[in-house]
Structure 1
Amino acid sequence: MTTAFKSRALSTITNETAIACIGLYCLAVVMGYGRFLFTATLPDIMVQLSLSTSIAGWLASINYIGYFIGALIAMFVPQRLTWLMLILWTMVSIVTTMLLMVPEMSLNTWYVIRLLSGIASGVAMILSSSLVIQRFSHARRSVLSALHYAGIGVGISASAILTLWLLTLGYHFDVIWLSAGISSLPLLWLLFAIRPSPSHPTELPRDYQRSSILQTYVNFKRSLYEASAGHTKSIVLLSASYLLAGFGYITSATFLPVMAAQRLTTQTYAGLLIWLVVGIFAMLSNPLWGALAKRIGETKTLMGLTVLQVLGMCLPIWVEGSVGLYGNAIILGLTFVGMVSMTLTLMKNINPAYSNLLMGLATLAYALGQFIGPLVTVALAGQDDNFNAGLLVAAIGLVIGLILIYFFRRQSRMIR
């Protein structure tokens, strides 16, 4: 027994920087692969499976429905079960990634897999952030949180590099997805190594009980009331702005490689190179915005990022050719991860005791915006597959979101 506990202690990782890197790897897997590898491989998927833009839009949106459901699930996860549920849904994310290599699957099977993948992304995004960030000391939390959220950019870059490499070798999306899944497997061991260490490992927590669905609902209502007491307006304003942020960025985040393939016909793999640009700037952005937030605060930083993203959405409309598309890619990478981390930090800070619940609530709104976005874009694109109208509507949505953030800032000042 003593030897078992010694080996357990030896296998547990407690270094804060190492934990942040594991968090980075987790986001790279569940977000970079689970969600955004679809964007990188979408042009090849459309060609190999002869998919229309409309079906591609629905495949994207079904994943965001899953993300919505995943955020909802995460809201019901008690703090004491965070690690266990994170392990479970990370496994689901990896399995659904590898399943897309199965040949000749029906379209309905694709929908189911992308739905499950979205659920896994939503749960794991929130729970990994909650689990990892709470392990940081106050003095290092800002820097290490930025490192953790950089995983989204790392995952996007990895998805672009992996897709570009395997396509040039003559492979297609099936091998790409399988390779992504295999490269994700070490994450499971690393997550096991940062599991919480209960004081009495042989006993269940005292508050553990098998609650009925009705009791779970009652507990959730009570928690929601306690979490929002005195903060309802702030939560509503921030959640609504986050919904519009999800709606705003998703046109580029889903269809940018397709737009590049349409407009830059003389440039081989233009879509993947542009997607790589998104990932590189997403990796670089969080330390930059984290440092700025330390000086001027998360709310002002979020407002600045929103203004910048509006500009990015308009660039492909105003500027023809590669300049507009690469400009959009750079700004998209610079802004969207920062907007996620700033919003979730602000939401968590409203009532830290209910961080899972509040971050889940915000992510529900974000996922709803992401679900609506591709459908609106596809509807506006018409038979010509022109995405300019979708980009314009996305920019308008972001402007409205900016106004809501301004009112959130005023409301926060009033509470203080």
Structure 2
Amino acid sequence: MMTAPKSRRTFTITNETAIALIGLYCLAVVMGYGRFLFTATLPDIMMQLTLSTTVAGWLASINYIGYFIGALVAMFVPQRLTWQTLVFWTTVSIVTTMLLAIPNMSLILWYIIRLLAGIASGIAMILSSTLVIQSLSDKRRSVLSTLHYAGIGVGISASALLTWLLLVLGYHFDMIWLVAGISSLPLLWLLFGIRPTPSSSLTSSHQYQSLRQTYINFKRALYEAVIGNTKAITLLAASYVLAGFGYITSATFLPVMAVQRLSTQSYAGLLIWLIVGVFVTLFNPVWGLLAKRIGEINTLIGLTLLQAVGMFTPIWFDGALGLYANAAILGLTFAGMVSMTLNIIKNMNPAYSNLLIGLATLAYALGQFIGPLVTVALAGKDDNFNAGLFVAGMGLLVGVVLLFIFRRQVKQTV
């Protein structure tokens, strides 16, 4: 008597909470390490490699160029290839993290590695969100998606704690990046457990199509996604560019500013960066609850205004108070602003939510690319970041104005 062959798939994760936690882990790796570990280790990198602020700014911006490219690429990934593409670029993220442990690398290699890390984080951010959120039931999606996005704050906190621990033990940035990469490896095994089953993936006869046809389909989808909401989407995207521009000055240079201003406090920069991560993790669910009461647009306006105030605090208060206030407000606001913006734009045309989220992410990445370059240019020979913080704060205030206009535009079209 013949028996049916056993399924080759022996490792499957179906529990929704577990899937959300894997999503959290993924964002902690590709965002917390792939993007923000650079911020935590930047003072040590600059000291060990004797890098100027200008070079440090370009290393940050090249990563944000990669993030922009990654967000653009993610918009073209077919639904049936979401998991495969996610696994590939998550692997790239982990490998590029570990590569920074190689001693005596040329600056060109640093730029290439940080560019690839940025591409990986952009693609994995969008595709992991798509894969995880689509795996959740309608009843639990709002709660568990918040758990997934908490991975950004967890990653920032982990980057601060890991850097702090290894610096205390006498190691430097190279060992920090190596340990971060090694601690990320179990993620690849966990992603294998949530891969879609063959029955849930698209296997039609039109599985393969030409690059030209993909582009034509993308143009058609883009037109259908924005039709009737072009002005509103433009206003929201413009405000999101300014949001990316505004927050990135602190998100890149906070530990460096702490080393400058709080030189008598050991590891003040890492404590400040840890505060950012903890506040991101704890407060993002709070803004979701607030949005249910006063609306997402009003919540976004309030968060943007609060973040603008935070940019000015290191200018108003020169010592520890200004920097700690900036860190706390940055952590309070930035993940909430991301969450609110993405929810607003995807709900403008739910049938094209992935495409609209990709457009918004491109806008945010553009602001993040410009921000460090402007800040470095304004810092001058004395590496004074006050001018950059002022411009960031003013940009956020302009963003608030655009959001008020956006709110009025949306009310008129309803």
Distance 1:275 1:269 in 2: 10
C-alpha displacement of 1:413:
2.1
CA offsets, 1:180-205, max 9 Å, x none? 0011111111111111223288x933
Residue 335 (structure 1) aligned to one of 316, 333, 343: 333
Residue 409 (structure 2) aligned to one of 405, 408, 411: 411
Task: Report the more deviating stretch, 347-356 or 185-194.
Answer: 347-356
Distance 1:56 1:255 in 2: 9
- Which residue is 1:317 aligned to? 315
- Which residue is 1:210 aligned to? 209
- Which residue is 1:27 aligned to? 27
User: Do 1:40 and 1:159's aligned partners in 2 also have CA atoms closer than 8 Å?
Assistant: yes
Q: Partner letter of residue 87 of structure 2? A: I
SS, match of residue 267 in structure 1: coil
Distance 1:118 1:336 in 2: 19
CA offsets, 1:354-405, max 9 Å, x none? 2221111111111110000000000110001000010000001101111112
- Which residue is 2:375 aligned to? 377
- Which residue is 1:366 aligned to? 364
Distance 1:59 1:296 in 2: 40
Q: Partner letter of residue 393 of structure 1? A: V
Distance 1:205 1:189 in 2: 28
CA offsets, 1:14-55, max 9 Å, x none? 222111111111110000000000000000000000000000
Q: Partner letter of residue 404 of structure 1? A: L
C-alpha displacement of 1:84:
1.6
- Which residue is 1:130 aligned to? 130
Distance 2:11 2:204 in 1: 23
Distance 1:200 1:310 in 2: 45
Q: Partner letter of residue 112 of structure 1? A: I
Q: Partner letter of residue 83 of structure 1? A: W
Q: Partner letter of residue 72 of structure 1? A: L
- Which residue is 2:306 aligned to? 308
C-alpha displacement of 1:140:
2.2
Q: State the percentage of identical aligned residues.
A: 74
With over 3 angstroms needed to count, the CA separation of the structure-2 counterparts of 1:284 and 1:200, relative to structure 1, is: closer
- 1:48 and 2:60 are equivalent in the alignment: no
Distance 2:44 2:154 in 1: 22
- Which residue is 1:168 aligned to? 168
Q: Partner letter of residue 221 of structure 2? A: S
- Which residue is 2:156 aligned to? 156
User: Do 1:21 and 1:147's aligned partners in 2 also have CA atoms closer than 8 Å?
Assistant: yes
Q: How does 1:17-416 map to 2 (within 5 A)?
A: 17-199=17-199, 204-211=203-210, 213-416=211-414
Q: Which runs of 5+ in 2 are unaligned?
A: none
Q: Partner letter of residue 26 of structure 1? A: C
Cα root mean square deviation, aligned: 1.5
CA offsets, 1:58-91, max 9 Å, x none? 0000000000000110111122222221111111
Q: Partner letter of residue 374 of structure 1? A: P
Question: Normalized against structure 1, the TM-score is what?
Answer: 0.96
Distance 1:2 1:361 in 2: 47
User: Do 1:74 and 1:357's aligned partners in 2 also have CA atoms closer than 8 Å?
Assistant: no
CA offsets, 1:209-228, max 9 Å, x none? 131x3222111111111111
Distance 2:140 2:151 in 1: 18
Distance 2:109 2:84 in 1: 27
User: Do 1:79 and 1:356's aligned partners in 2 also have CA atoms closer than 8 Å?
Assistant: no
With over 3 angstroms needed to count, the CA separation of the structure-2 counterparts of 1:205 and 1:88, relative to structure 1, is: farther
Q: Partner letter of residue 210 of structure 1? A: Q
Q: How many residues align?
A: 412
Which segments of structure 1 move beyond 4 Å, counting only runs of 4 or more?
none
With over 3 angstroms needed to count, the CA separation of the structure-2 counterparts of 1:351 and 1:200, relative to structure 1, is: closer
Distance 1:350 1:73 in 2: 22
C-alpha displacement of 1:2:
4.5
Q: Partner letter of residue 103 of structure 1? A: P
SS, match of residue 144 in structure 1: helix
User: Do 1:58 and 1:374's aligned partners in 2 also have CA atoms closer than 8 Å?
Assistant: yes
Distance 1:87 1:347 in 2: 27
User: Do 1:72 and 1:360's aligned partners in 2 also have CA atoms closer than 8 Å?
Assistant: yes
Q: Partner letter of residue 41 of structure 1? A: T
Q: Partner letter of residue 205 of structure 2? A: R
With over 3 angstroms needed to count, the CA separation of the structure-2 counterparts of 1:309 and 1:200, relative to structure 1, is: closer
Q: Partner letter of residue 243 of structure 1? A: V
C-alpha displacement of 1:136:
2.1
Q: Which runs of 5+ in 1 are unaligned?
A: none
With over 3 angstroms needed to count, the CA separation of the structure-2 counterparts of 1:279 and 1:2, relative to structure 1, is: farther
Question: Normalized against structure 2, the TM-score is what?
Answer: 0.97
SS, match of residue 90 in structure 2: helix
User: Do 1:33 and 1:180's aligned partners in 2 also have CA atoms closer than 8 Å?
Assistant: yes
CA offsets, 1:315-337, max 9 Å, x none? 00001210110000000011111
